[in-house]
Amino acid sequence: MRLAGRNALVTGATSNIGKAIATAFAAEGAHVIVAGRNKQRGDEVVGEIRTAGGRADFVAVDLDGSKAAANALAEEATRLLGGRIDILVNNAGAIDGTPTAETDEETFDLVYQVNVKSPYFLMAAVAPAMARARGGAVINLGSWVARLGIPVGAAYAASKGALETLTRAWSAEFGPAGVRVNAISPGVVYADPAPDQPGASMMTGTPHGGIGTPDAIANAAVFLAGDESAFIHAATLDVDGGRTGAAVIAG
């Protein structure tokens, strides 16, 4: 129960990584807001958490990059959590894997609206209250492609690079007031780690040898949200099977 008594807001929490983080936080004692666009899936996640004895509520939101949407989510989450958000996880994301010349302006804007603008304005809505309370933890979800170039999805990679830069800037801005800001950089993960999943080949040649599961990211998030990581600020934790750190040469 490492997060007992704490309140958490997790965006994009109706599937994959976000769902795993929300479930893990609740299992560790946190009251969790499951935020996402799909009410049916959100209610299912909340139901699973409550059945397991945890506390959770769903908030439907389309994080379209607007300040209004971010403010509305922060306000409703704060209300449901009894007036306080202790942990914010910026997980909601838009993925695009097209080559540069094939990326249209609408897609580019969507990627930046969801991956950069929404976390920015949600941070603006949540972090000042954390600072006033002299405590809080923010976890941003980056990506290994922000630091290891691949020949597709340049806009997506750049957006995740921007979020990792914001992690460091926000740490400098809010850290002195007791708000720890860190990031997790996942590799390719699926709930079903079958080798034929899309993108699985990108984990070939890693020390791990294949794709991971969302639980691996959730375990890292619990660590960064808890007291064990009290001395960690402005860090990006690679949870990618070794993709960005080592290359395995086939014998």
Which CATH number does the domain housing residue 105 bear? 3.40.50.720
The token pair at 50 is 């409550």
Per-residue pLDDT band at 251 (split at 50, 70, 90): low
Asked whether residue 219 is domain-assigned, the answer is: yes
The whole-number pLDDT of residue 194 equals 81
Q: What is the pTM of this model?
A: 0.96
**181 vs 199, more confident:** 181
One-letter amino acid at 86 equals D
- Of 112, 120, 156, 190, the active-site residue reads 156
Bridge partners, 89 (sequence order): 10, 139
The whole-number pLDDT of residue 5 equals 96
Instruction: Using CB atoms within 10 Å of the CB of residue 76, give its burial: 0 to 12 exposed, 13 to 18 middle, 19+ buried.
Output: middle
For residues 132-150, average pLDDT: 96
Asked whether residue 248 is domain-assigned, the answer is: no
**19 vs 196, more confident:** 19
Mean of pLDDT over the chain? 96
The token pair at 172 is 């400098």
Reply yes or no on whether the pLDDT at 206 is more than 70: yes
Reply yes or no on whether the pLDDT at 219 is more than 60: yes
CA pseudo-torsion sign 152, 154, 160, 165: positive
Asked whether residue 162 is domain-assigned, the answer is: yes
Asked whether residue 251 is domain-assigned, the answer is: no
Only one residue has tokens 């400098």, namely 172
The count of other CB atoms within 10 Å of the CB of residue 168 is 17
The CA distance from 99 to 194, in Å, is 26
The CA distance from 99 to 155, in Å, is 9
Per-residue pLDDT band at 213 (split at 50, 70, 90): very high
What's the number of domains the chain is made of?
1
Count how many Cα atoms sit within 13 Å of the Cα of residue 152 in the half-sphere of its side chain: 7
**Helix H segments across 35-134?**
39-51, 67-80, 105-112, 118-132
Asked whether residue 181 is domain-assigned, the answer is: yes
The whole-number pLDDT of residue 193 equals 79
Reply yes or no on whether the pLDDT at 247 is more than 90: no
Asked whether residue 150 is domain-assigned, the answer is: yes
CA pseudo-torsion sign 240, 241, 246, 249: negative
Asked whether residue 16 is domain-assigned, the answer is: yes
The CA distance from 222 to 4, in Å, is 12
* Contact by Cβ (8 Å): 12, 36: yes
CA pseudo-torsion sign 136, 140, 141, 143: negative
For residues 51-76, average pLDDT: 98
Asked about 156 being catalytic, the answer comes back as yes
Per-residue pLDDT band at 129 (split at 50, 70, 90): very high
> Which helix (H) or strand (E) covers residue 182, if one does?
strand 179-186
Range of the domain at 145: 7-239
Distance of CA 72 to the CA centre of its chain: 19
Asked whether residue 246 is domain-assigned, the answer is: no
